[in-house]
């Protein structure tokens, strides 16, 4: 019996020594990774970035530092994507649809009225369809790590309450620098003004634009209630966000370092999605308390919105490829079953 115990003790010690040796042999260099994104500290996007940074620090034994640059301090999304491709910025998270400039099929994630819920979007982005699109980014100098949640986009303005679909006509609305958003708000009769996000608050403050569209959490965190009076819960687009690392950085990493980033991405995605959806539940009430007038369009007016934007969906379905759209719709139908 005593010999048996000694044998198991020896095996346990050997196993521990093997694990320690493996850990000691992990190829992890001292490095700092710049993580740039558009929303302010405190926003669920920033919370997710901090969680990612914390996990990377813990799993690398403090060797890899992820330094956060919130609020567009390193430039707008298009500038940041270019910086990732050049290797001067290592990480970002941004609306997946913006990547249509790199891989045209990403435009489908900006189709209006596509998803009914965030969980529905999760199933599609985490599934074969979303992962196939991510894989295509490697040829564009980017490597996909996962999809986060930004939520449903809603319309704000400083001119008037939106009680009907036609009330949007004539408003000058800041939109994302993406062709589909320009066409979307043109179809609604607005005058779309594509601007980088860091320029948005000053443009609203100076009345260079009448309004903008973003999820309630972004509207709250960016303090748009200071320069916008009316918010309408149009829920016209749901935004999955793409978490990306520079391909130059990725290619220069060891297998151990890549594993650390992959694990951090997976764990922070679970955290970020939960944080974003929890915040969405309370953001609207906070905006109301901040003085914004909140409105909901009646069902018949929402149907008018859908009818107005159908030509936009048809146009971009042709542009990204009918087969891609059919595949996406098939995945959504499976989820809804």
Residue 121 clears pLDDT 70, i.e. is over it: yes
Please report whether residue 212 resides in a domain: yes
Tokens for 220? 């709250």
Structural domains in the chain (count): 1
pLDDT at 315: 95
Q: Is residue 40 part of a domain?
A: yes
- pLDDT, residue 337, reads 87
- As a residue count, the chain comes to 337
Please report the pLDDT score of residue 282 as a whole number.
93
Of the candidates 45, 72, 236, the residue with the CA atom closest to the CA atom of residue 147 = 45
**What pLDDT is attached to residue 23?**
42
β pairing state of 142-157 and 238-246: antiparallel
CA distance linking residue 87 with residue 73, whole number of Å = 17
User: Of 7-11, 168-172, 184-188, 277-281, where does mean pLDDT reach its minimum?
Assistant: 7-11
CB 171 within 8 A of CB 210: yes
pLDDT confidence of residue 25: 54
Q: How far apart are CA 310 and CA 297, in angstroms?
A: 18
In a domain? residue 243: yes
Specify whether the CB–CB gap between 283 and 273 falls below 8 A: no
Does residue 275 lie within any of the structural domains?
A: yes
The CATH number that applies at residue 256 is: 3.40.190.170
Is residue 18 assigned to a domain?
A: no
Q: Return d(Cα 279, Cα 211) in angstroms, integer.
A: 22
Kindly tell me if the per-residue pLDDT of 15 is higher than 70.
no
Q: What is the largest CA-CA distance in the chain?
A: 88
- How much is the pTM? 0.86
Main-chain phi, psi angles of 136, to 5 degrees: -75, -15
Question: Does 1 reside within a domain?
Answer: no
The reply to whether 286 falls in a domain is yes
pLDDT of residue 179: 92
- Separation CA 212–CA 229 (nearest Å): 12
Q: With respect to residue 14, please indicate whether it lies within any of the assigned structural domains.
A: no
Is residue 32 very low, low, confident or very high in pLDDT (cuts 50, 70, 90)?
Answer: very high
pLDDT tens digit sequence for 204-249: 999 999 999 999 999 999 999 999 999 999 999 999 999 999 999 9
**Helix, coil or strand: residue 237:** coil
35 bridge partner residues: 68, 91
Which domain does 167 fall in, by range? 29-336
């Amino acid at each position: 019996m005593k010999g048996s115990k000694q044998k198991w003790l020896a095996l346990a010690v050997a196993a521990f020594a093997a694990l320690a040796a493996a850990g000691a042999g992990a190829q992890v260099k001292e490095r700092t990774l710049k993580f740039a994104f558009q929303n302010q500290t405190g926003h669920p996007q920033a919370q997710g970035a901090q969680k990612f940074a914390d996990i990377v620090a813990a799993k690398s034994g403090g060797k890899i530092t992820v330094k956060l640059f919130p609020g567009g301090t390193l430039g707008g999304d298009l500038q940041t994507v270019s910086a990732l491709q050049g290797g001067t910025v290592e990480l970002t998270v941004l609306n997946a649809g913006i990547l249509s400039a790199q891989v045209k099929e990403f435009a489908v994630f900006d189709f209006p009225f596509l998803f009914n819920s965030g969980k529905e979007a999760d199933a599609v982005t985490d599934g074969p369809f979303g992962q196939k699109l991510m894989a295509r980014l490697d040829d564009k100098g980017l490597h996909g790590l996962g999809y986060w949640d930004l939520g449903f986009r809603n319309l704000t303005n400083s001119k008037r309450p939106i009680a009907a679909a036609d009330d949007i006509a004539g408003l000058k609305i800041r939109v994302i620098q993406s062709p589909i958003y320009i066409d979307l708000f043109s179809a609604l009769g607005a005058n779309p003004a594509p601007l980088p996000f860091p320029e948005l608050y000053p443009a609203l403050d100076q009345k260079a634009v009448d309004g903008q569209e973003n999820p309630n959490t972004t509207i709250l965190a960016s303090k748009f209630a200071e320069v916008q009076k009316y918010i309408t819960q149009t829920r016209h687009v749901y935004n999955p966000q793409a978490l990306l690392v520079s391909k130059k950085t990725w290619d220069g990493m060891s297998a151990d370092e890549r594993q650390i980033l992959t694990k951090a991405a997976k764990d922070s995605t679970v955290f970020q999605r939960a944080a974003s959806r929890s915040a969405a539940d309370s953001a609207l009430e906070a905006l109301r308390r901040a003085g914004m007038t909140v409105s909901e369009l009646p069902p018949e007016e929402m149907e008018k919105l859908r009818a107005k934007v159908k030509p936009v969906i048809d146009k971009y379905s042709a542009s990204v490829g009918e087969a891609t759209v059919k595949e996406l719709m098939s995945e959504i139908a499976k989820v809804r079953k």
